Amino acid sequence: MGAVAASTFVAFLPALRNGFFVLDDGLYVENNTHIRTLGWPLLRWAFTDTLVYWHPLTWLSLAVDYRLWGLDPFGYHLTNVLLHALNAVLVFFLTLRLGLRRDGGAQESGPSGWAYGGAFFAAASFALHPLRVESVAWVTERKDVLYAFFFLIGITLYLLRDRAEPSRRAWLYGASLSCACLSLMSKPVALAFPLVLLVIDYYLSGRMDLRRALREKLPLLAVAAVGVVLLTLKWWTVGGSELSWADRLDTALRAPALYLAGWLLPFQTAPIHPFVPLSRPTLGTPFWISVAALLGVTGACVAVARKERLFAAAWLYYLVMLLPSLHTVGDRFSYLASPGLSWMALLAADRVSNRPQAWIRPLLAAVGGVWLCFLSVRTLELQRVWGDRTAFWSRQVAAFPEVAAAHVELGAAYGESGYVLEALREFKEAERLNSASLRQSR
């Protein structure tokens, strides 16, 4: 546990040197006068504001940071990093609790040393992956690490309830429901909570009793319904309504494949993904490749579901956690979905390790260690980009040269640094791209 928290904290130390400069940081902190006083006005505003997401708990956490640190970005980044380290510890405990058995169900005996190593791998591959940088190094994404914190606690309490004494089950269920509400108050994508519990029920028992599930999880489904309303409002207020249904379908089916590829091959170069449909022209070749990849993985999980239930459960968890955010793309939306991929990798390694050859487990441990070191190096490298505005937008323009807004931001960064000619070049390119976009839309 200590190793998970310590390695996570060390890997994200560079984030502590970053400032406020990215996109919504001004809206959330720098220019946000509401968070500068604790009291009733803050509470009233936090629970009624829908300018971005409805996430009052996120606003309150930023207000506490302001009370402690003022506008010193160090404190805000520190809170993000600490929450991320705690989430890594929770993934560690959750992996141990799930047991990752071939046939599901709780383990009868205590975890072995191999089980602890596997839980460390799952937690570390979640925490140290470069896909996490956007959620941790960006102050605005406090909502990611905060909602995940309560979400993971809620799932863990639900698992504890499965084997608890009857007198404690009602208390654990109430505590799990409370965590679901707190998670939803941090980010509406927590509406996936009751669906995740259904996946856990399937993993533990091998079946889904929908009638019993509806009766038992009715309060959680009510919480999820609130989340659906909040996310729908979000989509219609930030431009999601401008996308065609073909673009929505394109994004929804390509995003899971994109995150899967990013998890397996973490060579992404862009700090963030722009809010644009993924493919042009609509429903092109990348779309069909993504559909084939998703169908292939899903088909493989269904084929082995009877003997290897966790593969199906882990893949279902991955898809369910992505469901609320399939209207757009960004590394941050894979934050709490990625443990599902770690569990699939861990189960595959466990099955290979059951072979009689004595050298297999040491080899798997060495490969896992090298993989985690590689992830750490990529994470450290990507964080440096978030510490310098010019470097950030230069990387963004290199990855998405067709996005005019990125050229505008890079031009502004050059202008602030005194590079006038470079700034003019970027502004002209942005004007050219906007003009071309207007001609295409006519």
* pLDDT value at residue 106: 46
Whether residues 362 and 440 share a domain: the answer is no
Give the mean pLDDT of 360-364.
85
| 275 within a domain of the structure (yes/no) | no
Whether residues 21 and 65 share a domain: the answer is yes
| 271 within a domain of the structure (yes/no) | no
pLDDT for residue 391 is more than 70: yes
Alpha helices in 238-359 (DSSP H): 245-264, 285-303, 309-322, 338-353
CA distances from 8 to 97, 225, 343 (A): 21, 34, 19
pLDDT for residue 222 is more than 90: no
Measured distance CA(61)–CA(35) in Å, rounded: 9
Count other C-beta atoms under 10 Å from residue 225's C-beta.
12
* DSSP 3-state of 156: helix
Q: What is the percentage of the chain residues whose pLDDT exceeds 90?
A: 37
Nearest in space to 330 (alpha carbons), one of 83, 140, 151: 140
Chain mean pLDDT for the chain: 83
Query: Hey, what amino acid is at 96?
Result: L
Whether residues 55 and 80 share a domain: the answer is yes
* pLDDT value at residue 301: 83
CATH number at residue 412: 1.25.40
* pLDDT value at residue 217: 73
Tokens standing for residue 31: 């220019």
| 425 within a domain of the structure (yes/no) | yes
| 198 within a domain of the structure (yes/no) | yes
Lowest-confidence region among 11-15, 235-239, 266-270, 284-288: 235-239
Whether residues 367 and 393 share a domain: the answer is no
Whether residues 398 and 374 share a domain: the answer is no
* DSSP 3-state of 103: coil
**pLDDT tens, position by position, 349-361:** 887 877 767 778 8
CA atoms within 13 A on the CB side of 173: 14
Give the mean pLDDT of 283-292.
68
| 314 within a domain of the structure (yes/no) | no
* pLDDT value at residue 98: 83
| 394 within a domain of the structure (yes/no) | yes
Lowest-confidence region among 188-192, 194-198, 253-257, 364-368: 253-257
| 255 within a domain of the structure (yes/no) | no
| 95 within a domain of the structure (yes/no) | yes
- Residue 300, exposed/middle/buried by CB under 10 A (0-12, 13-18, 19+)? middle
**pLDDT tens, position by position, 35-75:** 998 899 999 999 887 667 788 999 999 999 999 999 999 99
* pLDDT value at residue 318: 94
* pLDDT value at residue 24: 82
Nearest in space to 156 (alpha carbons), one of 83, 223, 91: 91
Whether residues 439 and 366 share a domain: the answer is no
Domain total of the chain: 2
Measured distance CA(4)–CA(7) in Å, rounded: 5
CA atoms within 13 A on the CB side of 208: 14
Query: Hey, what amino acid is at 176?
Result: S
* pLDDT value at residue 283: 52
* pLDDT value at residue 204: 79
Farthest CA pair distance, the chain: 72
**pLDDT tens, position by position, 21-37:** 677 888 899 889 999 98
Give the mean pLDDT of 350-379.
85
Range of the domain at 397: 388-442
Lowest-confidence region among 187-201, 275-289, 402-416: 275-289
Whether residues 7 and 27 share a domain: the answer is yes
Measured distance CA(142)–CA(147) in Å, rounded: 8
